Amino acid sequence: MSRAALVLPILGLLCLAHPASAQAPADPAAALPRLDPAARDSVALVSRAQLGARYRYGAHQPGHRFDCSGLVQYVMSVFHLTLPRTAAEQARLGVAVPRDTSRLLPGDLLTFGHGKRITHVGIYVGDGMYVHASSRKHTVVEVPLPAPGTRQAKYWKGARRLFDTGAAPDSLPPAQT
């Protein structure tokens, strides 16, 4: 099935997402753009529709080439969110959520890096999996989250929620950022 065949049915669901910008608010708990819970699956579908696109540093061309932040920027633009260009800038948006797969929702951003520096970003698509543009594999891939205690897990720095879930911010447990 072609990417267009996967994405076109999703476009009808886009009316469920309210146009908004995901610019970093002064108060991180400020209202996030609302996304109907059923439309979260659309975020996963749009992300997965990019699987196989070639990796290229600095690229953000849908269906052709992406780097990690370009992929995130493109997918979120489909849902009327305007994101900054770099992974480090994207990692400051929305609200921090726990690094716990039972608390993550499709569409949450996952951030990775060394020390306090964020160097990579991906999109959680559910069931412990995320989509990202891999410089190592030279393509957009879907992979499982790193298992706790593994070498890869130390690079997973956090998760950010860009869409309102309808739950009160106080109902989320404290997140590591």
| Three-class secondary structure of residue 39 per DSSP | helix
Contacts of 102 (CB under 8 A, 6+ apart): none
Catalytic residue among 80, 114, 132, 138: 132
Distances 154 to 7, 121, 150, 175 between C-alpha atoms, Å: 34, 14, 7, 16
Q: Which residues pair with 96 in a beta bridge?
A: 160
Q: Is residue 68 flagged as an active site residue?
A: yes
What is the C-alpha to C-alpha distance for residues 109 and 64, in angstroms, rounded to an integer?
Answer: 22
Catalytic one among 15, 18, 60, 68? Answer: 68
Query: Which is catalytic among the residues 15, 60, 114, 120?
Result: 120
Lay out the sheet containing 129-134: strands in order across. 60-61, 65-66, 54-55, 139-144, 129-134, 117-126, 109-114, 156-161, 95-97
Residue 83 to residue 72: CA distance in whole angstroms: 8
The secondary structure element, H or E, covering residue 90 is helix 87-90
Annotated catalytic residue 132: yes
Q: Is 15 a catalytic residue?
A: no
Would you please indicate which residues are annotated as catalytic (active-site) residues? 68, 120, 132
